[in-house]
Amino acid sequence: MGILRNIKTTHFFWDLSNEFLHLLGIAGLICAVDQMVKSAIDTEPEDNFPRDMPHTKGYIKIMRAHNPGFSRGRLGEYPELVKNSSIAAVGFLAGGLQYLTSFYPKQYKLKKLGMAIVIGGALSNVLDRIVNGKVTDYLNIRVSGLKSLIVNIGDIAIYVGGIIYIISAFIKKED
């Protein structure tokens, strides 16, 4: 029985299926786009901010803010805790995605997609925390209760991926 358990564990760690690699590609694309936008925002002169995002009728402003904490600056006074727990969360999600793609290749496609989207957004924010010690946020959505919230593409991906994952939990038979 011990040998069989080791074979399954080895299978889990070494089986990088096409599905897993495609989902990592989606995560990587989200991360890369967010990192490019953050880089562009961080290199602009301070007097370029805030400004309206074109074609949004003033509902979205482009700003520059740096957040050492989680969403809305939570635990910002503990940047190492935020960084390390963020790294752990991305690792846990990537391991979970690998597990699902390895052992359930034809099931849970929506769950896996949601996880990949979350991983992409979270990875971009983790890279910011590792390199800069804080996350660059740049989109201020000016709709009722969100007016004080400044986010980035990574944050939006985390929210959207989480919503997709939750929706998939309500689907009885997901193929």
Q: How many angstroms separate the CA atoms of 59 and 62, rounded? A: 10
Residue 52: strand pairing partners: 61
Q: Which residue has the tokens 């992409």?
A: 120
Answer for the pair 144, 76: CB distance below 8 angstroms, yes or no.
no
Catalytic residue among 34, 128, 137, 175: 137
Question: Is 175 annotated as catalytic?
Answer: no
Catalytic residue among 15, 42, 155, 175: 155
Q: Which residue has the tokens 């971009």?
A: 124
Contacting residues for 63 by C-beta, under 8 A, at least 6 apart: 49, 50, 137, 138, 139, 140, 150
Question: Is 52 annotated as catalytic?
Answer: no
Chain-centre distance for alpha carbon 88: 13
Query: What SS3 state is found at 108?
Result: coil
Annotated catalytic residues are 137, 155
